[in-house]
Amino acid sequence: MPGKDQFRRWPDRTGASMLYVISIMAGVLGALISWAGAAMIAAFPGFGSDNLTAFIVIGPLAAIAGFVTAVAFTLAIKGEVRTFRGLAVRSLGVIMMTGALATGGYGLRSAVLSHLGMIAKAPAVEFEIRLPKTLAKTASAADLKREAQVELLTDQNQTLARIDDGLLATEDGRAVLRGSVPLKFRTADRIVVLSLPGEAQRAFKLRLPANPSPSDEFGPWHMVDRVSPISRKETARGIPDDTFAIRYRVL
């Protein structure tokens, strides 16, 4: 039959577990407050730091200091740790536990995204769509930018692309529509669709693997893969070949 001392250990273990949980929560809160406070102070005029530097450099350093300080303070108050050695050992234990939880959470997130066919760090495709000369002559650059719509269609989702301001001009007088669109899912079934008022929809197949690698330069120009007519009359007489083309690279 277990003795009394054996039953007395359970409250101590439970209390220690709760102490670590409280310490982690206090550390996270301290890190957030320190990050925000340091970034705001560093971004004030006269400190010589811009907003971006304050947020991505000074803020994280302050967050680390705030996390360690909050953990040590919580252990000293709640855990009644009085010696420097005991405080350092327990603080290190909490920090290692937090790192293990963060690593496990990141691994679980990656596994879930992979199971759903999503890319953890979604790349983007930067594209250039070359328009025919006739279209560039009949419509202004502002009208093309305002009325054009580019959409990425996959077997998993559909996403509107961001179109850049201004159009490029080629040597032969054509206009080039530029933009980018994120690749959120692992799939090789990707089609870019260009929609212009009064024009048939042009579809371009992206010749990319399911999880593409970044590329420094644009690939070759590709002609239209499919044209969707805008009326039955147009379908009956057939759609003449045009000079729409696309090229792209992965960011």
Per-residue confidence of the chain (251 residues) as pLDDT tens digits? Answer: 444 444 444 445 555 667 777 777 877 787 788 777 776 776 665 555 555 566 666 777 777 777 878 777 777 777 666 677 766 777 777 777 777 767 766 666 656 655 555 555 678 999 999 988 777 665 555 666 678 899 999 988 899 999 887 777 776 767 888 999 999 888 889 999 999 887 888 999 999 998 888 888 999 999 999 888 654 444 434 444 468 899 999 98
Contact (CB, 8 A) for 112 and 171: no
pTM here?
A: 0.53
Can you name the residues that pair with 151 across neighbouring β-strands? 160, 193
State how far the alpha carbon of 84 is from the alpha carbons of 18, 90, 96, in Å: 21, 10, 18
